[in-house]
Chains A and B, each alone.
Chain A
Amino acid sequence: MAAPAELALLLEQRGWTAQPPTEHPMSGVSESRWIAPAHLVAAAEAAKAAGYFYESLTCVDRLDPHGAFELVITFARWDAPARVAYRVWTPKDAPVPSLAGVFGIAEWNEREAWELFGVGFSGHPKLRWLLLPDDTEFRPLLKSFTAPPPSNYDDSLTAPAAPQDERTDSHTHG
């Protein structure tokens, strides 16, 4: 029944933690550690053994330091308000080891992250489209994505090209 502090300590002893590439504070969690992608599966198994359940996977398309993905995987417990966040930093083309073997829900979360961002997951049973139609070629949640290819489901074919809305540019650099 490891409290979050003990689990965090365990991760550090085993040397699975990595240096934080950005100084981005994390709140709403008891402990948050940067995990090296290579040790992700072992860390997840440690969390499962300690009684945590796989809560969520958030993929963030980071632009400011040097264009990479930040994966925030949170684990929570049933009996205590303890939430541990594993943060993984991967360059855009390097695949991350999949947790589908450890947690069942990881399969869907990873399929969604692959589909909306393009993050590669090695060892995933079958990376296929989950939410978007099977013939989509774009990754919608990337910051570089602004509009889908023209189709008759919106006004792209009929209406003249809408002037580029200034708001979508303003936020790219926060």
Chain B
Amino acid sequence: MTLLAALRGRLAGFVGDFLATWLLGAVLIMAFLAFNVLFLVLAERKLAGHFQRRVGPMEVGPHGSLQSIADMVKLLGKQILTPVATDRFVYLLAPLLIFLPTLCVASLIPLAGAEAFANQPYGLLVIVALSGVTVLSIFMAGWSSNNKYSVLGAMRSVAQVIAYEIPVLLAALSVVMIAQTTNLRQIVEAQHNTVWYVLVQPVAAILFFIGITAETNRAPFDIPEAESELVGGFHTEYSGMRFAMFFFAEYTNMLVLAALGATLFLGGWLGPWLPGPVWLLIKSYAVIFVLIWVRWTYPRLRFDQLMSFAWKVLIPVALVNLVVTAVLVHGIG
């Protein structure tokens, strides 16, 4: 961290203190997330391979490790098609807009105790608000590409994210009720030497985990881009680097929400020996491993079953959990 501080000091000389932090932070996050996407794409294909009795990509790099770089460079070199009948401006904007919210959310996750950037008093609320914006760009993509399959996929994604945003919020609320704050750093510090919140709030943890599976459009909730029904779902008409943007956004969203889950329930950067951010990474990759595992095991839920599962099961359970926590906290507090 001292190297960063020195770099920031020299930069502050040119552009002033605040701008330097902001610039350095943005570059750091963008670089890390780009690296993470490459790693996650490879991890998903290798894990899928091993789940399915095969070895996954082996040709590129030692033991297939550079496969995702080959994918990205190939996608860079692809011709970018814009179908004539699309709504051009909205069609071009959708891929850009899809991963801006996830980048903002990434900057709000506290990496380590003192030096980390994020010390927002209302961090959790901002995060939950921003994570609702990604569905806007999915709908824009689906609607503008003038393809009936895409419109179907877009409609489905809007309904799904609305239905699964609420359990995620309620699960987070029950944690906030215990920690008495919405500042993520204080939530983590509240878990410092007591037991982690995943044990205090097991129901909320499960709800949160199911919610982020649905929010990142991953099976068994991947109905917006259901391969076997809607051909390509909302990104059917996108090719080349634009399609890669959707790929990039999906995996970034996965990491960010997993990190949020780790911060809320698994005690973000707390952990012996290793520095803070490394612990946060280990925990979020554990959550991601379970996400990938679930994807390659379960078939897909039908659209209306998915909705009834959210409205009739998850949300009532979340509300009951909230009430129980309130009674307990009030009783003890």
**Direct touching of A and B (C-beta under 8 Å):** no
Q: Which B residues are within 8 Å of any A CB, using their own CB?
A: none
Q: Which A residues are within 8 Å of any B CB, using their own CB?
A: none
